[in-house]
Each structure stands twice: as structure tokens, then as C-alpha cells.
Amino acid sequence: MLAAALTVVPVGAPAQADSDGTRGIHGMQGASGAGRSGESGKFGDLGELGELGESKDLRSAGWALKQTGKDARFRGLAAVSRTTAWVAGSKGTVLRTVDGGRSWQDVSPPAAAAEGLELRDIEAFDARRAVALSIGEGEASRVLRTEDGGKTWTEAFRNTDPRAFYDCLTFFDSRHGLAVSDPVDGRFRVLSTDDGGRSWAVLPGAGMPDALPGEAGFAASGQCLVSAGSRDAWLATGGGPVARILHSADRGRTWRAAESGIPAGDPAKGVFALAFRDRTTGLAVGGDYRTGQASPQAAAVSADAGRNWSPSGTPPPAYRSGAAWLPHTRAAAIAVGPTGTDVTTDGGRSWRALEPGSFDTVDCAADGSCWAAGEKGRVGRLERR
């Protein structure tokens, strides 16, 4: 609900969707940047990012921008490999590349495009199968699924409860997944699928702790709900008196909350994105999304599956909305936001700037490739300079 840009409506109060299809906080603007090409010869193919090493060689990496030909804001991203990626965003737009970003296919679901839905999350299993989430009040929150590379889409779920507002989804494997809504009747609502997203059911709320006043999820990057392994999931929150991270070890049946240490106490503040390298080692990033506002403690780390969180000693210098671990490295990760990209090579304890430029979300594939996406059709792949 706290979707990266918007006026917060207190939990339980009526809310209106804004022109972006979101409710909650209105008005955030990122740095400008079009989805222009970065394939000018100054970048080389990295192959696996593990080749970059942990520190010295990582400085030789940068975002090679890929021409998408669109002006949509892409907050949903699924990195399948260095050749295949999906992005989803405003105006019901979904794009897919299978050639490393040299060309993009517009595979937008016709109904989503016609209605201008806000697609804020997409999870892809391969080049053909993907599940996308649109956000918003009531029936604007939907789950769409394709099995043929986006040629056709099936609506797998449509929310009919006007009180619910779905923010993010995640998959443990190709069959089991979850989606989360802002609190309904005082608790976050969780959807579950065990057939690859073909059908969804609301889980009982008894295992979910009570939400705090004003608490909600940020639909900013598709990373407010993440998973690792076959059963563990984590939910990030903001907008309440403290920013919490909730952990489930049983695929969403029961949850335990912990304070993140990232400042909250305001509808614009909290944890915006999570990334877990495995079921014990996690990162959290966030801050205050409002342009020009300080985010003095924008990152935290956990080494015990999210039971406890410690602030980063040297956090990113500003609000960050997305994060991802670099595969094939011991402790390297990336964080992105409207004012730039930061990297850590010590598991999130300290961060340093990689380069400026606006991105909303970042994702890395098992083959070591990393992609980022954001406003004005901007998409990049991490490559050697």
C-alpha cells in the first residue's frame, strides 16, 4: 500500500487509488533517466558475477542500460539469466527479453494494459512461465499468469475485498508461493498457492501478529515479501511507529515479528526491500522515500533468519528501495534507489557508492547476472566497464 509515492490513509479508513493505481503515500519522484541503450562498446559481458570477486574487481562493474522503447515505470523485475529477464510496471506493461536486453517483446496482458493496472511485482520461472501482481484497492489487486512467454495471460486471482490491498508476492519454488495484502481486520492478509500460481487461497489469520497502527507494506520494488529455501518467508513493513520484519518458517501459516532498526514513525518511512542469501543471512534497506529527506539509517543485517537485526555501520547515503545478493560471492550485495546504486562486500555491514542513476528494483539470477529497473523505461544489466 505504501507504494512509493503517495498520502497515507490510516488503517481502517477509506482510501482512494491515485493516478498510479496505488493508495497510501502520494508524490514521490525519482531522478530522471530514460530507458536508453548502454551497448556502446564501453561494457563487456561479465558472464558470472562471481568472476568480479569480492571487492577490488567489483569496482569495474556498472549498469549497461538497455533500450526498452517504453516510458513505463518498472518496479517489478525477474532476472532469469544473463539473457532472459522480465519487467512489469505502470500502464499494465510487461516486457520480456531473451537476448540480454538487445531487444524487448511487449507481452503486456491485454486487460491490464487496457485498464492501466499497476503491475508492481513479477516472478518468472523461466522464459515462458511468469506470475505478475497488480496492486490497488479491491479488484485492482490481481494475480496474472502466463505459460507461453506472455503470448496469453490467465487471471488467477482477483481480490474482491475492498479492504485489501496486495503489495508483493514471492515463490519458494515453481509450485509454492505467497502474496501479501496490507492489514485487514488488524492483520496482514496472506494468499497461498501450491500449483504454481494457477489458484490462490487466503490463509487463516490466526498465526499473524497484530499489525501496528498505520503499518503496511511498501509496493515499491516487489521486495517487501521474499523467500529463501522451501519454507521461509519474510515480510517488510513501514508506516507504523517502528519498521518491522515478520518471518514465517512454515510457508506463511505462522509469523514472528522483529524490529528492523530502520527508522519509521512516519507513513513515508520504513523497510522497503529485503534480500536473503539463504534462510539465515538477510539484508533490509529502506528509509524515507520523500525527495530531499534524510535517511540516516537506510540498511540493516540479520544473521539469524530475521530474529534480530543490526544497523549497518556504514549504510547507503539515502533511501534505497531494492536489494539483491550477488550470486557466487561470499558477502557481496547491491542496493538501488532514486539517487544511485550502492554495493557491500562484507554482508551489508558497510556500503559504498557504485554509481548514480535512478533504479527502483534489482534482481540477480542463478547464473550470476544482475538486472535493475526503474522509471521512464530504464533497465540495466550489471556488466564489466
Mean pLDDT of 120-144: 98
Residue 41: predicted pLDDT: 38
190 backbone dihedrals φ, ψ, rounded to 5°? -120, 130
Q: How confident is the model at residue 57 (pLDDT cuts 50, 70, 90)?
A: low
- Let me know if residue 35 belongs to a domain: no
Q: How confident is the model at residue 58 (pLDDT cuts 50, 70, 90)?
A: confident
Residue 2: predicted pLDDT: 53
- Let me know if residue 241 belongs to a domain: yes
Look up the domain containing 85 and give its range: 49-384
Q: Facing residues of 201 across strands?
A: 192
**pLDDT cut 90: percent of the chain above it:** 83
Residue 65: predicted pLDDT: 98
- Let me know if residue 19 belongs to a domain: no
In the predicted structure, residue 5 carries a pLDDT above the cut 80: no
In the predicted structure, residue 367 carries a pLDDT above the cut 90: yes
Q: What average pLDDT does the chain have?
A: 89
pTM for this entry:
0.88
Per-residue pLDDT tens over the stretch 220-253:
999 999 999 999 999 999 999 999 999 999 999 9
In the predicted structure, residue 47 carries a pLDDT above the cut 60: no
Instruction: For residue 283, give every residue at least 6 positions away whose Cβ sits within 8 Å of its Cβ, in sequence order, or none.
Output: 274, 275, 276, 299, 300, 301, 302, 323, 325, 333, 335, 344, 348
> What is the C-alpha separation between 195 and 154, in angstroms, rounded?
14
3-state SS of the chain?
Answer: CCCCCECCCCCCCCCCCCCCCCCCCECCCCCCCCCCCCCCCCCECCCCHHHHCCCCHHHHEEEEEECCCCCCCEEEEEECCCCCEEEEEHHHCEEEECCCCCCCEECCCHHHHHHCCEEEEEEECCCCCEEEEEECEHHHCEEEEECCCCCCCEEEEECCCCCCEEEEEEECCCCCEEEEEEEECCEEEEEEECCCCCCCEECCHHHCCCCCCCCECCCCCCCCEEEECCCEEEEECECCCCCEEEEECCCCCCCEEEECCCCCCCCCEEEEEEEECCCCCEEEEEEECCCCCCCCCCEEEECCCCCCCEECCECCCCCCCEEEECCCCCCCEEEEECCEEEEECCCCCECEEEECCCCCEEEECCCCCEEEECHHHCEEEEEEC
**pLDDT cut 70: percent of the chain above it:** 85
Q: Kindly tell me the sign of the dihedral angle through the C-alpha atoms of 7, 123, 332, 348.
A: positive
Residue 59: predicted pLDDT: 73
Task: State the CATH number of the domain containing residue 297.
Answer: 2.130.10.10
Residue 224: predicted pLDDT: 99
Q: What's the one-letter identity of residue 94?
A: V
In the predicted structure, residue 36 carries a pLDDT above the cut 60: no
- Let me know if residue 239 belongs to a domain: yes
- Let me know if residue 4 belongs to a domain: no
Among 164, 128, 120, 161, smallest CA distance to 145 is for: 128
C-alpha cell at 202: 487466503
Per-residue pLDDT tens over the stretch 344-361:
999 999 999 999 999 999
Cα 121 to the chain's mean position, in Å? 7
Residue 304: predicted pLDDT: 98
- Let me know if residue 33 belongs to a domain: no
- Let me know if residue 309 belongs to a domain: yes
- Let me know if residue 12 belongs to a domain: no
Q: What's the one-letter identity of residue 292?
A: G
Mean pLDDT of 15-43: 33
Per-residue pLDDT tens over the stretch 76-97:
999 999 999 999 999 999 999 9
Tally of structural domains, the chain = 1
C-alpha cell at 116: 492501466
In the predicted structure, residue 122 carries a pLDDT above the cut 90: yes
Mean pLDDT of 3-24: 32
> What is the C-alpha separation between 64 and 274, in angstroms, rounded?
24
Neighbour order of strands in the sheet with 201-202:
166-171, 177-184, 187-193, 201-202
Residue 6: predicted pLDDT: 31
Cα 212 to the chain's mean position, in Å? 22
Output the CA torsion 88→93→98→100 (10° steps): -70
Per-residue pLDDT tens over the stretch 271-330:
999 999 999 999 999 999 999 899 999 999 999 999 999 999 999 999 999 999 999 998
